[in-house]
A = this chain, B = another copy of it.
Amino acid sequence: MARGKIQIKRIENQTNRQVTYSKRRNGLFKKAHELTVLCDARVSIIMFSSSNKLHEFISPNTTTKEIIDLYQTVSDVDVWSAHYERMQETKRKLLETNRKLRTQIKQRLGECLDELDIQELRSLEEEMENTFKLVRERKFKSLGNQIETTKKKVKTSSIFTHFAFLSYYLSQYFRVM
């Protein structure tokens, strides 16, 4: 018997609370099911008891995941938004950085030079000149290393192989100079 009007406030007695939780949970789920059938709706109920026990209801012919995905799509107060926005921002910045890097590379390939003013062209020219020298030196050094290695290998390699490399080296050497 519901003796006296129910006061809606926390049931302090642990046992009564537990019993009421169980009963009302069933009631709630029953109502949810009726609503589903009567009104052709989809309902997801997720609940945690005071002891953090999970109970859920989900309308037949759907899944909780489906409902949550839809919820995410439809609702503006997007539970995922904090993460999502942050990642979107990161992605945006990375794309922007990549774009700038690509422009730099293009300019170092002689493209998009129109965008540069005379000062920028001068810097770039100087930079290219320096790097060109560095690369040339490096290549020369690399060739030097190779000929050293070849000298050491010469005893075990055929005179033909040795000669072939020497020819290549010399051609590169004069190309470089």
* Cross-interface CB contact of A94 among B18, B83, B98, B132, cutoff 8 Å: B98
Contacts A24-B35, A70-B48, A130-B110 given; does A65 touch B77 at CB 8 Å = yes
Most buried by B among A79, A88, A135, A172: A135
Is the beta-carbon distance between A25 and B35 smaller than 8 angstroms? yes
How many chain A residues sit at the interface, stated as a range, is 35 or more
Contacts of A64 in B (CB 8 A): 71, 75, 77, 79
Report the nearest B residue to A47, measured CB to CB: B43
Question: Within 8 Å of chain B (Cβ to Cβ): is A139?
Answer: yes
| Mask: chain A, 39-59; 1 = CB below 8 Å from B; 0 = not | 111111111111010101000
What's the Cα separation between A27 and B154 when bound, in Å? 94
Question: Within 8 Å of chain B (Cβ to Cβ): is A67?
Answer: yes
Question: Within 8 Å of chain B (Cβ to Cβ): is A84?
Answer: yes
Contacts of A8 in B (CB 8 A): 33-34, 37-38
* Cross-interface CB contact of A134 among B24, B68, B110, cutoff 8 Å: B110
Question: Within 8 Å of chain B (Cβ to Cβ): is A74?
Answer: yes
Given contacts A54-B74, A65-B77, A129-B132, 6 further A-B contacts (CB under 8 A): A10-B38, A21-B39, A24-B34, A94-B94, A113-B135, A125-B139
How many chain copies does the complex carry? 2
Contacts of A87 in B (CB 8 A): 84, 87-88, 91
What's the Cα separation between A121 and B143 when bound, in Å? 10
Rounded to whole Å, the gap between the CB of A28 and the closest CB of chain B is 5
Question: Within 8 Å of chain B (Cβ to Cβ): is A102?
Answer: yes
Question: Within 8 Å of chain B (Cβ to Cβ): is A1?
Answer: no
Most buried by B among A77, A142, A143: A142
